[in-house]
Amino acid sequence: MNRRTVGVSVTSTTSYGPANFLQRSDFVGLLHENGSALAAYNASSIVKHIVHRIRKCGDPVEKYEHNRDFVAFVNLFADETQPLPANWQASGRNPTVFIDHNVRRTTLIDPRLPLPTVDRKRGRSAPPSRRHNLDKNGNLVDLASRTAEIAMLVEERLPELAPKIRKKLQLIERLGVVALTRLANDVDLITAISILDTDDSAGTSEFEEKLNHFYSSLQRSGYGKGPHKAKFQFSRSNLLQDAFDQILAADPQSLRKAKLSIAFDDEEGLDYGGPSRELFYLLSRELFHPYYGLFEYSAADQYTVQISQYSNLVQNELQW
């Protein structure tokens, strides 16, 4: 694995442990640069949950050192070509135990984790990074499309500045990019956008926590662990009805425990996860479409949906 180091390390290893490493502001970038670690992270909901707890809730790493998957994940970042830190010793293999004589404790986590670095050429603090106009999926969005949302948050949290900011937001709505360019360094507008950033990150954090808890619950309950497979074959042209008929006809207990194997008519191949993921994507797109009457748009200018007030008119609506 290629490792890139810029500048010099600024933190001593005796005070820098796995908790410091996982809580680094650039940890997500390091994760995506490490292919093996990224694969291990995406493959284990337990590892995701533990990393989330340490980063967001400040849980001590020692609480999770008994989890082999988590230990193996963290050790994928260790640089085994480097010597151990001073007063450290490695003993045994499979697993290797690391002994820290500085504090007289042992751990299974390799201490040779990447240290934070600093560029000596930098003579002053870096300016705060400008907000990138990206949505939560990383897609470029127009800030002007969120002026109503920003105005609402400002009314709640900065009522004394709300009138001034509202005028500037109205200017952005009317003039678009011209106004954005003119107000690029406006303090009031930057303050308002920072509130939007905070609100986004808080919502994302809450959603991630619920998602991780959901995955952990499935893992503990043994869902989809096998050893048997639940095999289904669907027609793409009649997917929703096919899925409704076949899935409801299957034994519920078998569905919970069996591994899912999906095939589509006239398409040969084995399901290693791709067809299953595609099935759920296609089903969700069909089922949540307001055309079927079960859901409706939550507002005229939004693409989020809610249960339709007329859904009880759909035949077998509770089974759907």
CA dihedral 47, 49, 27, 142 (to 10 degrees): 130
What secondary structure does DSSP assign to 234-245, as a single string?
E-GGGHHHHHHH
What is the topology classification, in CATH, of domain 229-313? Hect, E3 ligase catalytic domain fold (3.90.1750)
Q: How many helices (H) and strands (E) does the chain have?
A: 12, 9
Q: What is the pLDDT of residues 10-43, one digit of tens each?
A: 344 445 688 889 988 888 878 888 888 988 888 8
* CB-side neighbour CA atoms (13 Å) of 274: 8
Tokens describing residue 117? 């670095």
Rounded to whole angstroms, how far apart are CA atoms 286 and 305? 13
| Ranges in the chain annotated CATH 2.20.70.10 | 8-116
SS3 135: coil
Neighbouring C-beta atoms of residue 258, cutoff 10 Å: 19
What's the residue count for the chain?
320
Statement: 8-116 belongs to CATH 3.90.230.10: no
| Ranges in the chain annotated CATH 3.90.1750.10 | 229-313
Residues 6+ apart with CB under 8 A from 29: none
Q: What is the pLDDT of residues 88-119, one digit of tens each?
A: 988 887 788 888 888 888 899 999 998 876 54
Rounded to whole angstroms, how far apart are CA atoms 99 and 292? 62
Q: What is the pLDDT of residues 130-155, one digit of tens each?
A: 444 444 443 334 455 677 777 777 77
Pairing mode, if any, of strands 229-234 and 259-264? Answer: parallel
Tokens describing residue 93? 């293999």
Neighbouring C-beta atoms of residue 230, cutoff 10 Å: 19
Between 6 and 300, the more confident residue is 300
Q: What is the pLDDT of residues 267-309, one digit of tens each?
A: 776 666 678 888 888 888 888 877 777 788 877 666 787 888 8
Let me know the angle formed at the C-alpha of 183 by 179 and 184, rounded to the nearest 5 degrees: 115
